[in-house]
A and B are shown apart, each in its own frame.
Chain A
Amino acid sequence: DTAVSQTPKYLVTQMGNDKSIKCEQNLGHDTMYWYKQDSKKFLKIMFSYNNKELIINETVPNRFSPKSPDKAHLNLHINSLELGDSAVYFCASSPYGGTEAFFGQGTRLTVV
C-alpha cells in the first residue's frame, strides 16, 4: 500500500480552468503539507495542517485553497489557473513535529 498517494500524477490543463489535486495518507499521521517545486527544483511550502487545523498558510495566491475533510486527506484546489502555476506539487505527511515527512510521488501540473 502506498503511504502517501496523490492523484493525478500528471495534469495538463488550460489557463483559466479550475482543478484539484487529491492527497491521502494511510499512516495515521497528524500533520500534512503541500509543497510546490518549481522548474529550478526549489521546494516551497504552501500549507501545513495539523489534525485538520491550518498551521501554515504561506504567501500563496488565494486561488489556492486546501481542504482537509479528515485527518487522512488534504486536497488542493486551484482556481483560475495561470501559466506560472505550472510546477510539481508534493503532498507530505508526518506523525508530529520533528519527525520525518513522508512524501507523495508528486503531481506535475502543466498549464497551457
Chain B
Amino acid sequence: AQTVTQSQPEMSVQEAETVTLSCTYDTSESDYYLFWYKQPPSRQMILVIRQEAYKQQNATENRFSVNFQKAAKSFSLKISDSQLGDAAMYFCAYEVDNDMRFGAGTRLTVKP
C-alpha cells in the first residue's frame, strides 16, 4: 500500500509570517490525488487544498499553496501571512481508487 510521510511532527510560525509543511509519498501509480487537511482542536477535519497528479500547475487557495514535485514524490504546503486561526494539526493525504491514506500529521503553532 502507498505510504505518506510527514517528517515534521511540530512546526512553529510567527503570526503574519510564512511556513512550509513537508510531505512525501511512495507510490507506483501515475494518476492519483493529493490533499492537505486541517484538524483544529474541535477535531473536525477540514480540506485545505487538493492537487491532481496529472496537473503540473500547483494548486492555490488564498493564503495556501502547494509545491508539487511529481518526480520527487513531494507535496509541501505553504501557508502565507499565518494567522492565529491556522493553528491546528495538518495532514497530508494521498488517494487512488477510493483508498485515501494519511501522513502522521504536523502540529502547527502560531505565535502572536
Contact = CB atoms under 8 A, between A and B. Distances in A.
Interface of A: 31, 33, 35, 40-45, 48, 50, 55-56, 88, 90, 92, 94, 96-101, 103, 105-106
Task: Tell me the dominant secondary structure on chain B's binding face.
Answer: strand
Contacts of A33: 100
Interface residues of B, number: 24
Contact of B98 (A31, A88, A90): A31
Interface string B92-110: 0101111111101101000
Interface of B: 32-33, 35, 39, 43-45, 47, 50, 52, 89, 91, 93, 95-102, 104-105, 107
B89 A41 contact: yes
Nearest to A100: B47
A97 B95 contact: yes
A97 B93 CA distance: 13
Contacts of B35: 100-101
Contact of B97 (A40, A43, A97): A97
B102 A105 contact: no
Contacts of B97: 55, 97
